[in-house]
Structure 1
Amino acid sequence: MTTIAWIGDGELGVDRVGGKGRSLDTLHCLGLRVPEAFVVTTHAYRQAVGDKLVAEIDRRIAALGTDPDPEAVSSVSDSVRALVIAETADHSCDADIRAAYQQLASRLGQDEPAVAVRSSSAAEDSADRSFAGEHDSYLWVLGVDEVSAAVRQCWASLFTARAISYRARGGADVDDVMGVVVQRMVDADAAGVFMTLNPVNGDRSKVVVESVWGLGEPLVSATATPDRFVLDKITGEIIERNIVQKPTRATRNPVTGRGLATVPVDEADHSLPSLDDTQLRQLLDIARTVERHAGTPQDGEFAVADGEVHLVQARPETVWSSKPAPRITSATGAMGHVLSALTDRN
């Protein structure tokens, strides 16, 4: 069993590379533009953590009981995360992680490429339960030492307070494992999310796109108001545009060259749309492709650089997808058949 897997190898199962890793590999194999990446596999996690540490973690979580107090959960989370970081300081897979980063640097023709280091739990992003945003991710990470440290931080984030509480109540096995994606950082001019249905009413004939200037972190963390576009999945028409004032953007820290910083946007760009029509149509094609392959509504994350859309995540939509798709009866003729086929497929 290997400790490193490369996105694009194909047939990377969730048990090996976690939900995010499996999704990225699938997207790459669909021919979509996915930034170069490798995954520190769940086997590496198991090997680095070891049976003794797993037993101690299990003991601390089991001591919470099945209806734990939030303060107790938070305390256990803090102690377990610190324990994982301390006990994996000299783990046996570290050389493999460093070698993979150097191989990525060679592929990209850079000495120290900036990467995103993202948690990829085996439990996340499934259709029936989602840990989206629950585990840690680190952006603009530079060099082998920082990558090595960020991987261990991601391993420790398997034991956030929310995740521990979920497990204590029987919502997941306590021996859940963590893969970690190490992916080329896209220096985004704009970024955002898309959903292959309208999250307001569940309309599956629409694609909704939200975007901001720079990196998408402020949007994902709900600290910025995005532009919002609604596209018709069948005709391709952009039927709604809601452009907001966007005075700042998230980008690489201009002082340190690593991590994130919020910087002003040129005043002339405050009220401009963060995506043009060409990019929106790229996103529509991506959304159609991802949903068609998955057979169920999806939401995804993207970054735009040099006019091209890069897909950095896609996962099942978990709210409206659990409800029956209504048969559309208001349209007749050829369009009625198209709409009915669309809802039947989803």
Structure 2
Amino acid sequence: MNAPHIVWIHRSDAAGSDLLGGKGAGLARLTEAGVRVPPAFVVSTAAFRAAVGADLLAEIDTMAGGVAPDAAAEDLEAVGAEVRELIGGVALGDTLTGAVAKAYAALGHDAAVAVRSSSAAEDSADHSFAGEHDTYLWVSGEAELINRIRDCWASLFTARAMDYRRKAGLSSAGASMAVVVQVMVPARAAGVFMTLNPENGDRSKVVCESVWGLGEPVVSGSVTPDRFYLDKVTGEIVRRDLVVKDVRLVRAASGQGTTSAQVEPELREAPSVTAEELTELLRLAKLVERQFGVPQDGEFVIGSDEGAENVYLVQSRPETVWSRTSPSRATREGSVIDSILSHLVPGSARQA
């Protein structure tokens, strides 16, 4: 039986990351767990392979596999650029284009969507690939969607993605990409959560980082977010680190893509999530940790209105740093030195 080219996350029939990619498979499991997730479908890895075709896949594998293990960054970029150009010229074909158009129409007429790369190798317990592949927000219209799907396929061969695979001991030959197409939530606030304390590995805490607007600046590490520490047992907010938030990422005036906008003066020092929303994030974080069986590193978005019912999860993946350390040892040995390092080297505690 041929693998499907379009898979809805709420009807995935337990399809795994080999077909849906890491993000797609994670979203499917979140949906199975009853978590509030924006509607989405996945253009599968089978669709990628069918569109690119056996001959071009073989050529790409030869080019990617021919990169020396110690190749310089400029050599990686040169090969990657050549492969991306080849993928950029791929025509999806009438069958796949029609299937994408039908699924997209089911989300609503010219629905605004996020188009997210979902590599078959990413978001495992050993390799997260966070930020290595491309994501496009506020995409609208069938033609634009098709272009962005192709761009996500091509991002499999950026120099940074190829270098990540090389350092992780993975080959770029045979790499495969799915693409998640998910309804955009008009974000009042957004951010990330971890079901342990990234400063010391303490699994009795959930830590949430958030900003006004879309969460991509938090994911990319380009801004300093608000940070909240929640106790898993008592539900108490044990610590709040609030920052001044001057700008936020919002939908561009054209309707396509994003732009930066100034935050209203009265909101700049205000917490970007409410106590009620943090309580809901704590509930969801604990739920997904139970569902996946290991500490999680996830992303959330909060809709335009306040309240728990407006909190959505848009990703959850295994945490890849502290999860490899036993809970007691992580809490005991990491509490001092890693807290110091996290302040001396920004972002050092959150590598996933």
Q: Is the counterpart of residue 295 in structure 1 residue 298 in structure 2?
A: no
1:342 match: none
Q: Match of 1:46, SS?
A: helix
Q: Match of 2:198, SS?
A: coil
Of the three residues 318, 321, 335, the one matched with 2:320 is 318
Matched positions, count: 324
Alpha-carbon distance, 1:247 to partner: 1.5
Of the three residues 48, 51, 61, the one matched with 2:51 is 48
Counterpart CA distance in 2 for 1:214 and 1:75 is: 36
1:223 match: 222
Alpha-carbon distance, 1:87 to partner: 2.7
Q: Is the 8 A contact 1:80 1:159 kept in 2?
A: yes
1:193 match: 192
**Greater mean alpha carbon deviation, residues 115-124 or residues 320-329:** 320-329
Q: Which runs of 5+ in 1 are unaligned?
A: 106-110, 331-346
Q: Is the 8 A contact 1:208 1:228 kept in 2?
A: yes
Counterpart CA distance in 1 for 2:29 and 2:112 is: 23
Counterpart CA distance in 2 for 1:236 and 1:12 is: 34
- Deviation string for 1:114-171 (max 9, x for gaps)? 0000011110000011211111110000010011111011111111213323555742
2:251 match: 252
> 1:329–1:231: structure 2 CA closer, same or farther, 3 Å change rule?
closer
Q: Is the 8 A contact 1:194 1:300 kept in 2?
A: yes
**Greater mean alpha carbon deviation, residues 85-94 or residues 213-222:** 85-94
Counterpart CA distance in 1 for 2:164 and 2:198 is: 25
- TM-score normalized by the length of structure 2: 0.88
Q: Which residues of 2 match residues 263-302 of structure 1 at below 5 A?
A: 263-302=261-300
Alpha-carbon distance, 1:251 to partner: 0.6
Counterpart CA distance in 2 for 1:297 and 1:167 is: 23
Counterpart CA distance in 2 for 1:17 and 1:32 is: 18
**Greater mean alpha carbon deviation, residues 91-100 or residues 232-241:** 91-100
1:343 match: none
Q: Is the counterpart of residue 115 in structure 1 residue 113 in structure 2?
A: yes
Q: Which residues of 2 match residues 79-118 of structure 1 at below 5 A?
A: 79-88=82-91, 90=93, 92-105=95-108, 111-118=109-116
- For 1:273, the aligned partner's letter is P
> 1:173–1:78: structure 2 CA closer, same or farther, 3 Å change rule?
closer
> 1:147–1:327: structure 2 CA closer, same or farther, 3 Å change rule?
same
Counterpart CA distance in 2 for 1:225 and 1:16 is: 35
Q: Is the 8 A contact 1:47 1:92 kept in 2?
A: no
Q: Is the 8 A contact 1:19 1:125 kept in 2?
A: yes
- For 2:180, the aligned partner's letter is V
Q: Is the counterpart of residue 17 in structure 1 residue 16 in structure 2?
A: no
Counterpart CA distance in 1 for 2:71 and 2:200 is: 35
Q: Is the 8 A contact 1:61 1:168 kept in 2?
A: no
Alpha-carbon distance, 1:173 to partner: 5.7
Counterpart CA distance in 2 for 1:322 and 1:70 is: 30
Q: Match of 1:279, SS?
A: helix
Q: Is the 8 A contact 1:67 1:168 kept in 2?
A: no
- For 1:165, the aligned partner's letter is D
> 1:50–1:251: structure 2 CA closer, same or farther, 3 Å change rule?
same
Moved >3 Å (runs of 4+): 88-92, 165-170, 327-330
1:180 match: 179
1:157 match: 155
Q: Which residues of 2 match residues 199-218 of structure 1 at below 5 A?
A: 199-218=198-217
> 1:134–1:154: structure 2 CA closer, same or farther, 3 Å change rule?
same
2:343 match: none
RMSD, matched Cα: 1.7
Counterpart CA distance in 2 for 1:162 and 1:263 is: 29
Of the three residues 33, 37, 60, the one matched with 2:63 is 60
Q: Give 1 or 2 for the bigger CA radius of gyration.
A: 1
Alpha-carbon distance, 1:82 to partner: 1.1
> 1:117–1:329: structure 2 CA closer, same or farther, 3 Å change rule?
closer
Q: Match of 1:93, SS?
A: helix
> 1:229–1:80: structure 2 CA closer, same or farther, 3 Å change rule?
same
Aligned residues with identical type, % of pairs: 52
Q: Is the 8 A contact 1:119 1:136 kept in 2?
A: yes
Counterpart CA distance in 2 for 1:283 and 1:246 is: 21
Counterpart CA distance in 1 for 2:171 and 2:197 is: 30
- Deviation string for 1:64-87 (max 9, x for gaps)? 222212110011111111111113
Q: Is the 8 A contact 2:65 2:171 kept in 1?
A: no
Counterpart CA distance in 1 for 2:46 and 2:234 is: 45
Counterpart CA distance in 1 for 2:330 and 2:145 is: 50
Q: Is the 8 A contact 1:236 1:281 kept in 2?
A: yes
Counterpart CA distance in 2 for 1:187 and 1:8 is: 21
> 1:91–1:153: structure 2 CA closer, same or farther, 3 Å change rule?
farther
Q: Is the counterpart of residue 78 in structure 1 residue 76 in structure 2?
A: no
Counterpart CA distance in 2 for 1:293 and 1:55 is: 38
